[in-house]
Amino acid sequence: MWLDLRKIIESPGASQTFAVTLDPEHLRDPAIQGFKVPPEARGEVVNTAGLLSLRGTLTAEMTCVCDRCGTVFDREKVLSLDVPLAADVSDEQSPEVFAVEGGGIDVSEVAETCFILDMEQKVLCRDECKGLCPMCGKNLNEGPCGCTRPGDPRLAALRRLLEMPDDPTD
């Protein structure tokens, strides 16, 4: 959604509200299976002493896949937006600053970029997700599976004991 900022661009203290429904197609992430309701962003662009910034909240209710155990789970994301906007496009800003062009800005694009930048590298169903057993594939969050883990040092010690020849004095 293109937001017209011409009314506030030269007026310190002025603000322009916005509310936009985002296109889920633009919020793709390997961990996101889908959105339960269309994600929304609302807020305002404020002119503070001549500097424009976009402030607001992005809310999304989505279904995610855990990177570690593969469980599909619901997740609500509420993201605060506070993004400086560059009103003067002529001076080359750093790429992360959104530029106002033609007297306005695409607020959908700003919100979508913030959403994608905020996504974790690995989405987990819980902070301490135990993942799947590498041997039987059981979800270890639901309880232990009974497989003996090859890396367990106690088992290695036990194996060494079992491999020892019989004690002749016994």
The residues of the shown chain that bind Zn ion, judged by CB under 5 A, are: 66, 68-69, 71, 125, 129, 133, 135-136, 145, 147
* Cβ atoms 87, 49 nearer than 8 A: no
- Smallest separation (angstroms) from Zn ion to the CB of 144: 8
Contact 62, 32 (CB under 8 A): yes
Least CB distance from residue 133 to Zn ion, whole Å? 3
CB of 129 to Zn ion, least distance (A): 3
Q: Which is nearer to Zn ion, 15 or 141 (CB)?
A: 141
Q: Between 143 and 165, whose beta carbon lies closer to Zn ion?
A: 143
Q: Rounded to whole angstroms, how far apart are CA atoms 134 and 150? A: 10
Cβ closest to Zn ion, residue 4 vs residue 67: 67
Nearer to Zn ion, 148 or 169 (CB): 148
Q: In angstroms, give the least distance from the CB of 134 to Zn ion.
A: 8
Nearer to Zn ion, 70 or 102 (CB): 70
Q: Looking at the DSSP assignment, which residues form a beta bridge with residue 85?
A: 52, 98
Find the shortest distance in angstroms from Cβ 120 to Zn ion: 13
For residues 40 and 78, the answer to whether their CB atoms sit within 8 Å is no
Beta strand 72-86 with 15-21 is: unpaired
Residue 9 in contact with residue 47, Cβ under 8 Å? yes
* Helix-strand-coil split of the chain, %, nearest 5: 20, 40, 45
- Give the HSE-up count for residue 64: Cα atoms under 13 Å, Cβ half-sphere: 21
